[in-house]
A and B are shown apart, each in its own frame.
Chain A
Amino acid sequence: MRNIKALIMILVLGMVWAKPSFPGDTLTPEEIVRACYANFYYAGNDMKARILMKLIDKGGQERIRELTMLRKNYAEGGGQKYFIYFHQPSDVKNTTFMVYKYPDRDDDRWLFIPAINLVKRIAANDKYSSFVGSDFSYEDVSGRKIQEDSYRLLKEEELNGKSCFVIESLPKGSAEYTKRISWIDKVNYLPLREEFYDKQNELYRQFEAFEIKDINGIPTATKTVMKNVKTGHRTEVTFQSTEYNLGIGDDIFSERYLRRRPTEWIK
């Protein structure tokens, strides 16, 4: 019996990890969100993307963060390594940032400061803090653990012509939000819209994916925006180029390449 359970687990894991997941209609709300996380945060065995972030305040003033991100998966729903290299703005060019993400404990994070050639480990339990000054938190960028919320299917409806599951996520413990409503595409299981509610049960942040492209058979959200509806500040993200399953080596995620970016991967 245990062997059969293990076999089923392996089949389920195989379904959601390392390839796009397209579960059937009979999935529970938690399984839908699991498939969504798998497709949004774990697509491919590895990924390389050049990303342009525009941080725009309510007055329209823009700041730019242009970066290349390398990501490699090590375990379903958990272990991942990220390597981020900043191209812009000028004063942070050559700065690199590396994250080892674990399923069961805080991330390990390192930052390289080129001006003094210093690699330093940085504290990492600030998952709700802003990622590089944007409207995205660290948790938005690298994902939330599936067991941290409970889920309910509110309804099924069309959003911009696409049929979606509408799922409510309520945190079991403390979280940045008190409620999240997600519109998850029934076909590719990507989040097309998410609304985050605060303690007053008021909407304060809204995410939207408004361009989805098929890249090597993997549906990818290539243009997204996160807007803080209370401050009027928003962050527009464009994946200028994305590639999957490149065979990025383990050695890339090391102090060596923090100090000198891996030019075979990051031009």
Chain B
Amino acid sequence: MDKVDNRRIISRRKAQSVKRKTKNLKLYALRFNFTLYVLCFALNCSSAIIFLSSNLSYAEEPFIRGFLQTNYSARITGVKLPGAKRQELMLGEERGRLDGSYYPSNACVGFDVKADLFHDWVEGDWGVTLREGYMDCLMDKFDVRIGRQIVTWGVGDLLFINDVFPKDWEALYLGRPLEYLKQGVDAGKLSLYTDLASAEFIVIPHFTPDNLPSAGRFFFFDPYPNIMNREVEKPKTTFGNTEYALRVYMSLAGADLSAYAYKGFYRDPAQRADNFTSPTTTSYFYPELAVYGASLQKNVLGGVVSAEYGYYDSMNDRNGKNPGIENSQSKFLIGYQKAFQNDMTIGLQYYGELMSQYKEYNANLPPAFYRKKELHQYITLRVTKLLKYQTVKLSLFTFYSPDEEDFFITPEASINVTDNMLLVLGTNIFVGVKDNTTFGQQHKNSNLYALARYSF
């Protein structure tokens, strides 16, 4: 996982979540306005493009679809969370989605907007989110997409190396539908296509952090529980803070190959303190990050082999001496997925993070922090079985870290009662020997979740 190691920034999360609560709607409104601005700009451009490209034969009528769903998650450990608003209830919401798209006839531009309206029983409020909203300009050898969009890169299954785009880890741990693990970015994307290779180049002017488990819903390890006032400083939307991401991909000898580069910021915050041993003040910020990597996927031995590598260049702590900032790392994974008869699929992955400057890390680590191994590893297993003409799906996903000795286990059953009605029941189980490891710190958060969705 890109940044499952969230021990060091947990107290930051508390501050973050308190702020989030008060600024939630404001933030939504700001992001909504930003994208509206982009869309308005796009609309102004589009009429000219429609005129210029009226000989192209793209056609689709306006289309609207969506869903209504209710999604609940309850803590099953019986442990009371101090300060929790709803005690056992970790997630309780009703949500409606509208997805409208319009790709007019005889034009090479189109639009797609997905927006959610929800009521959250835990926070006791209503909200609107623009999940995606973009304009496409589709040309012969290139496409341009402007607006809020979800980008997913890499070949890992719930393990992200070159997918440097924002995630919502809270959504994953609460048992929300998997699509909510991914957050949109407000960005412009240029896609180029040639016979030899293709490329995607993404420019992100507006920083979006990961959404981490928040106070009021989750237990987590906090190295400095007594420090209450914690400022969070996000990269400002300036030209110098623009993020750039590039993917070049091609097929070669039956393999899908990609190379990646990214320059921007860590999406999980780092920590500043006047004194890491016994701080009186701490604050949080998002350090600069560059990532260079590659991936491969190919059919081998009757299954699919996936391999991915990425070097994380921690630009603000290249010598590895700052304990508040992640050291540079090499991240890698190898996976194998095989389908068996009768609708059964099994996937296995091995994932490692090898820390650069481990000596400096060890020498500078404050006593309150968890001491990581030089090589942090995960082994994952996914088993999926479909039954009853694929209307019933049983799945199991398991993370196991041999160095941190913890597990994250997610069994789930879902039923398509009709084409439009989906019911899901599952659990998120956290197990760990220590209460300050990635999943071990969450052992009081094990939960049972349920979802009912009506699609239209």
Contact = CB atoms under 8 A, between A and B. Distances in A.
Contact of A256 (B179, B198, B341, B419): B198
B343 A117 contact: no
Nearest to A110: B256
Given A116-B179, A117-B152, A121-B304, A233 B419 contact: no
A213 interface: no
Interface string B385-427: 0100111000000000000000000000000101110100000
Contacts of B198: 254-256
B57 A264 contact: yes
Contact of A123 (B151, B337, B386, B419): B337
A106 B302 contact: yes
A9 interface: no
Contacts of B345: 123, 126
Nearest to A264: B57
A124 interface: yes
Interface stretch (B17-25, B58-66, B273-281): B58-66
A3 interface: no
Given A116-B179, A117-B149, A123-B345, A267 B339 contact: no
B341 A89 contact: no
Interface in A109-143: 115-118, 120-126, 128-130, 132-135
A256 B193 contact: yes
Nearest to A137: B341
Contacts of A118: 152
Interface string B48-81: 0000000001111000010100000000000000
Interface string B150-178: 11100100000000000000000000001
A125 B338 contact: yes
A105 B298 CA distance: 13
B299 interface: yes
A91 B59 contact: no
B203 interface: no
Interface in A188-218: none
A90 interface: yes
B303 interface: yes
A149 interface: no
A126 B338 CA distance: 9
Contact of A233 (B143, B151, B389, B453): B389
A144 interface: no
A90 B143 contact: no
Contacts of B456: 90
Contacts of A108: 254, 299
A126 B58 contact: no
A123 B338 contact: yes
Contact of A126 (B340, B420, B455): B340
Contact of B179 (A115, A129, A133, A263): A115
B389 A55 contact: yes
Contact of B178 (A63, A116, A176): A116
A22 B229 CA distance: 84
A165 to B, nearest CB: 30
B191 interface: yes
B98 interface: no
B131 to A, nearest CB: 9
B217 interface: no
Interface in A238-264: 251, 254-256, 260, 263-264
B44 interface: no
A90 B97 CA distance: 12
A116 B177 CA distance: 11
A123 B89 CA distance: 38
Interface of B: 57-60, 65, 67, 103, 136, 138, 143, 149-152, 155, 178-179, 181-182, 191, 193, 198, 249, 254, 256, 297, 299, 302-304, 306, 337-343, 345, 386, 389-391, 416, 418-420, 422, 453, 455-456
Q: A-B pairs with the 8 shortest C-beta distances? A: A133-B390, A123-B339, A126-B339, A89-B419, A115-B179, A91-B455, A263-B58, A118-B152
